[in-house]
Amino acid sequence: MGDQIVLEEELKMGAASNDFVRHEAVTGSNNVAQDPDPQPHDGLEAILNGGHLPSAELEEAIRLIYGKRLPQLAIDSSISDHAKENNFQIFGYQMKAQVEQLRRPRKVRIAGIQNKIVLPTTAPIGEQRDAIFRRVGQMIEAAALAGANIIGLQEAWTMPFAFCTRERLPWTEFAESAENGPSTKLMKQLAAKHGVVIISPILERDEEKDDVIWNTAVVISHTGNVIGKSRKNHIPRVGDFNESTYYMESTLGHPVFETAFGKIGINICYGRHHPQNWMMYALNGAEIIFNPSATVNGLSESLWPIEARNAAIANHVFTVGINRVGSEVFPNEFTSGDGKPAHKMFGHFYGSSYIAGPDGTRTPGLSRTQEGIIICEADLNLCRQTKDAWGFRMTQRLPDYAKELTEVSQSDYRPKIIKEI
């Protein structure tokens, strides 16, 4: 037991539903996926738990990959049993800070939810959306019962990630008002019922400004009120990620939302590849930065385990990387000008959601094939303690970089390269 990075009960739960997940991917039993995941393992954690490494070597691997072995957060057996019966994972961990004399601990339970679409993409739009609502609502209930205070969902959680197709209809029918659309109404109810903050990333239809579409995260207070919204700052033009066909870069900057449980920023998906994006949320006061994402194997999977962790370290914050899971097939073939044959499947969304702390520790990730909830009880005092220990904010020399970045942003700028004469 001590040689493994997750509890034996969790391993059994993963094994119990693993056959179902792989069968679904190969046979398309619910018409969501028709091709198997090219790498059908359940994730890094499953590999480490395979019993191949001697105890001492496993501990060293854990130290290098996760910073250290984190204590686990006890989750009531009734919640774990409910998750198992409904084929999703729920894991909990703790990130502790040192006890201070003048400040009380600021413990908050942060949760991230990764989910699949439920119905095939050929089903009526309303039915697809309502099925996802029911599924994610069920998982939010479980996270809340496990004590979560802040719950973050994945990018565009209300719909298939159809932006590969470049088709407008029917996919733009998923777009909705951030303030009073159907998903926001549902999230407001759940937030008020459980006293939790919910980060709800959606495809937004800005009904007050020419019906323009945005990639948006809505922040809903524990009171059930909408605090505000943040939008995607960086739009990919990589492979099948043809998102600029639908929406462009945010004009809202880097807003931070003060909630009852901490100050929150939302760095949506592709923005995680831009260190300045993380930095600006931190400079604006964020203590927790969510990264709701939708990214596929073969493109970013080797980057995923380190990017949110790096950002947590560099900015003295907690980060929450949330990636959707499963394979999505669309009715019509599409291409993306990359020389690949026309295809109907975007790729495999590999999940693996995790939470990282300012001291460089991170939780193990969720499965790369199963839906799940990752929860971390974090003491936000760790942000300042790490800031004092490492001093990155004190030593980052913003005025110097501001001057040089201003110069670089000018159209007549030329790189300052010194050559031998």
In this structure, what CATH number is given to the domain that contains residue 193? 3.60.110.10
Domain count for the chain: 1
Q: How large is the average pLDDT for residues 368-393? A: 96
Catalytic residue among 84, 116, 188, 232: 232
What backbone torsions phi and psi does residue 304 show, to the nearest 5 degrees?
Answer: -55, -45
Task: Give the three-state DSSP class for 131.
Answer: helix
Using the predicted structure, report yes or no on whether residue 17 has a pLDDT greater than 70.
no
Q: How large is the average pLDDT for residues 206-214? A: 94
Q: Closest Cα to residue 316, out of 272, 286, 291?
A: 286
Establish whether the linkage from the previous residue to 399 is cis, with ω within 30° of 0.
no
Whole-number Å distance between alpha carbons of 371 and 147: 19
Bridge partners, 241 (sequence order): 238
Catalytic residue among 84, 164, 188, 269: 269
pLDDT in tens, 263-322: 999 999 999 999 999 999 999 999 999 999 999 998 899 999 999 999 999 999 999 999
Quick check: is 189 in a domain? Answer: yes
Quick check: is 416 in a domain? Answer: no
pLDDT at 81: 97
Q: Closest Cα to residue 153, out of 109, 197, 107, 185?
A: 197
pLDDT at 39: 61
Task: Choose between 21 and 200: higher pLDDT.
Answer: 200
Quick check: is 257 in a domain? Answer: yes
Quick check: is 294 in a domain? Answer: yes
Residue 232 appears among annotated catalytic residues: yes
Q: Closest Cα to residue 269, out of 318, 221, 320?
A: 320
At 6, the pLDDT band (50, 70, 90 cuts) reads very low
Residue 301 appears among annotated catalytic residues: no
CA dihedral 284, 290, 294, 298 (to 10 degrees): 90
**Are residues 183 and 199 in contact, defined by beta-carbon separation less than 8 angstroms?**
no
Quick check: is 40 in a domain? Answer: yes
Quick check: is 285 in a domain? Answer: yes
pLDDT at 46: 87
Q: How large is the average pLDDT for residues 204-217? A: 96
Comparing 70-74, 147-151, 332-336, 382-386, which segment has the lowest mean pLDDT?
Answer: 332-336
Q: What percent of the chain has pLDDT over 90?
A: 83
Whole-number Å distance between alpha carbons of 205 and 227: 18
Catalytic residue among 155, 176, 243, 328: 155
pLDDT in tens, 53-67: 899 999 999 999 999
* Tally: H helices and E strands in the chain: 11, 16
Q: Which pTM was predicted?
A: 0.91
Q: Kindly write down the DSSP assignment for every residue of 173-240, as one continuous string.
A: GG-B-TTTSHHHHHHHHHHHHHT-EEEEEEEEEETTTTTEEEEEEEEE-TTS-EEEEEE-S---EETT
- Give the structural domain span for 116: 8-408
Residue 59 appears among annotated catalytic residues: no
Q: Closest Cα to residue 217, out of 356, 99, 322, 100?
A: 322
Quick check: is 414 in a domain? Answer: no
